[in-house]
Amino acid sequence: MEPRQQHPPANHPTRHRKEGSTHVRLVLRRRWSALAAGLLIVAAGVGLSTASADTGGGDASTATAKAKAKAKAAGQFRNPVNPGADPTVVHHDGNYYAATTQGDAIRMWKSPSAATLLTSQAHEVWKDSDPSRNTQIWAPALRKYEVDGKERWYLYYTASDGNDSAHRMYVLESEGTDPLGPYHFKGKVADPNNDRWAIDGEPFTLGGKLYFSWSGQRDDGVGNQLFIAPMSNPWTISGGRMYLPAEGNCPEVREGPTPLYNKDGRLYLTYSACDTGKPDYTIWSKSIAPDGNPMDAGAWTQEPGPMFSRNDEAGVYGPGHHSFFKSPDGTEDWIAYHAKNTSTYTYSWRTTRIQKIGWTADGKPDLGRPAALGTALDLPAGDPGPGTKVINDTDEGTGDLQVSYTGNWNSGSQCGVQCYAGNDHWSQEKDATATFHFTGTQLALLSVKDTGNGIAAISVDGGEEQRVDYYGKPRVGEELQWVSPKLDPGPHTVKVRVTGEKNADAGAAFVSIDRAEVTP
């Protein structure tokens, strides 16, 4: 048995990635909590009515406590919930919808439970043939509005011709009321009198008026700064932009602005600071009173920060570029964000995670600390579940929710916080196997990708094998390697066989076994 190529240290050092007057009613907010009940304000060209919601803060009601108890009974899940970055997540009509940066198109995932978002099918909702905007497609943001009596989804995104300097913001409009579309191109979202490099745009409202916020380039050429402009409808900027100075732990980036409202209507415009490739990418915020003027930089208060940052003990680096959404029953606020479990400076391996947030006694958002990958979290209140179950690499045996090995395998805790429960198994012996035994309808494999990893052959219930390359650079853990097809309910096996093969860049042919997520 040859020794395994050693994992690099778990905490060694780690781009910026990265039409006319219309009556509009806000139907669903993706990234902020609703204002006080009954608020109805109509502004020039834009009418916005907001729904009643308890947005957190204060003591929980009996109904809220019951909803949370129900959520806990429905099961638990573990992050990540998507292998992509820059997430937008909404819950609508009994389903979660998530979209992340894909580069060549906009894809969306739909699932009735947060526990099964990771294994849900990708739907390609938009691919553009216009060469000026059909590549480097980043940062989708999904909103629902009623325009002239018709409810439609608006999907905001950033795209270019392949050159970063050409990045601009665009928006799609759905043909009907399905978040999966179909969509048609609605327009470019830009200040026509100052059309500069721009990314990460999305709307917000204050005082009954609609505004657009984004990360753009100042007139002096400095990029990745926050800007705000008024809108006359969900696709049209109707006035000059305003530069919003904002603090951060790094000087180079202010991006991904997204709004969050407390129960009193105060707006917290949260944003990410620092280069997203760095481990110190983090979330900050500026806030403004409900009656403030967003186009007056002096009306904003810089909140102390960071609000949400790296958690070295948990192996979470670079948490940011986020969105907010409500639990299915509306009683909880949740954040969706991307992060890595390597401190290496890289834009690769950013995955989407979700977790519940709270509120302080004085009404400020409390985002907490990012949880380690694999941490068991209660499903959002009102999520029907059932939650997924986990098989660790050390759950050895041939019973339900166990894994059995043949051939020579190493095991240990060298991977530390990059592995589930701090350990994994690995082998490069040809035809060594690891067989997962489970009762359920689907199984997902998550484990280490490494420069010394090779190719596995994976089969279900003794069927045809599928080749899966476990290579990755830099090394990361708890990465989604493979998802089974949907299976009939009942007992099944998934066998991982070491082939001894590797790609040309790999230094060895190891295969890693860490955790499996089982859908009942």
Q: Which of 280, 466, 331, 321 is nearest to 61 (CA)?
A: 331
Tokens of 473: 């650079």
- Give the strand pairing for 24-28 and 135-147: antiparallel
| One-letter amino acid for residue 517 of the chain | E
- Dist. CA 485–CA 44, nearest whole Å: 52
Q: Which of 478, 349, 337, 473 is nearest to 417 (CA)?
A: 478
Q: Which of 104, 94, 107, 102 is nearest to 142 (CA)?
A: 107
Phi and psi at 470, nearest 5°, equal -95, 10
- Dist. CA 431–CA 500, nearest whole Å: 8
CA distances to 140, 304, 422, 436 from 392, rounded to whole Å, are 34, 40, 10, 10
Choose, from 86, 128, 280, 329, the residue flagged as catalytic.
Answer: 86
Burial class (CB in 10 A: 0-12, 13-18, 19+), 241: buried
- What is the chain's alpha carbon radius of gyration, rounded to the nearest angstrom? 23
Residue where the block lists tokens 């089982």? 518
Beta bridge partners of 260: 268
Q: Which of 349, 277, 17 is nearest to 160 (CA)?
A: 17
Beta bridge partners of 457: 467, 497
Choose, from 128, 173, 191, 255, the residue flagged as catalytic.
Answer: 255
Buried b (16+ CB within 10 A) or exposed e, 376-412: ebbbbbbbebbbbbbbbbbbeeeeebbbbbeeebbee
Sheet with strand 351-359: strands edge to edge: 317-326, 333-340, 351-359, 365-366
Beta bridge partners of 153: 144
Is 255 known to be catalytic?
A: yes
Is 54 known to be catalytic?
A: no
Burial class (CB in 10 A: 0-12, 13-18, 19+), 461: exposed
Q: Which of 448, 452, 446 is nearest to 515 (CA)?
A: 446
Tokens of 334: 């949740």
The catalytic residues are: 86, 255
